[in-house]
Amino acid sequence: MNNPKLPKPKSVDCGTPPKGVQAEKKGSFKMLDDLTDDVFDQLMAFNVLLPARDSLGEIYLLSSEGEPLFEEPYALVDFYCLNPDCDCCKVTLVIQDKKNRPIATIAYGWQSVSYYQQWGLDKTTASLLSEGFLDPMGPQSKKSDMFLEIVQEMVEINPHFKKWLQNRYHLFKKTVPQYGKTKLLELLRGSKT
């Protein structure tokens, strides 16, 4: 799948991917930049809000002969917006290496192009979101294009993966209102209470 160079997409008004992220523990991120008191403008990793749930897991890259291309697996971390009134139906997937450094940031939405156009996205960006694209607002690396292709293929050929992301989105959105703003900010900041 082709990922053209994109202009900065219009906001979907439900938070932005983490610009500055630092690994707090494997599979979760602590937001460092642009953390505001308006918690509903933020994204949070699924396993920070719901730590007892399964993570998305790891990606092992294999050659056509089944041999590992790299010695290490890459973790796949899913972020969702904290706005309980937002129904953006999208996920920000951050792929991180074994040192928890972000390698790629991918925006993906499972709704139709027209759905995202209703959120104010232009047709090109809405179309790209529906198939997944490298989010220009998140960290990227030389391996980002490769991971984008892997995620696009996973979504395309594995309906269970797409359904799993949708289920995690709905569970996340259902759980957010159970926390107050103060508790959500503490989680975002990595505070221990």
Question: What does the alpha-carbon distance between residue 182 and residue 187 come to, in Å, rounded to a whole number?
Answer: 9
Domain presence at residue 5: no
Q: List, for residues 130-182, the tens digit of each pLDDT value.
A: 999 999 989 999 999 999 998 998 899 888 989 999 999 999 999 999 988 88
Domain presence at residue 114: yes
Domain presence at residue 11: no
CA angle 84, 189, 9 (to 5 degrees): 55
Domain presence at residue 133: yes
Helix (H, G, I), strand (E, B) or coil at 178: helix
Cβ atoms within 10 Å, residue 115? 17
Domain presence at residue 9: no
Cβ atoms within 10 Å, residue 83? 19
Domain that holds residue 158: 21-178
Domain presence at residue 53: yes
Domain presence at residue 14: no
**pTM for the full predicted model:** 0.76
Domain count across the chain: 1
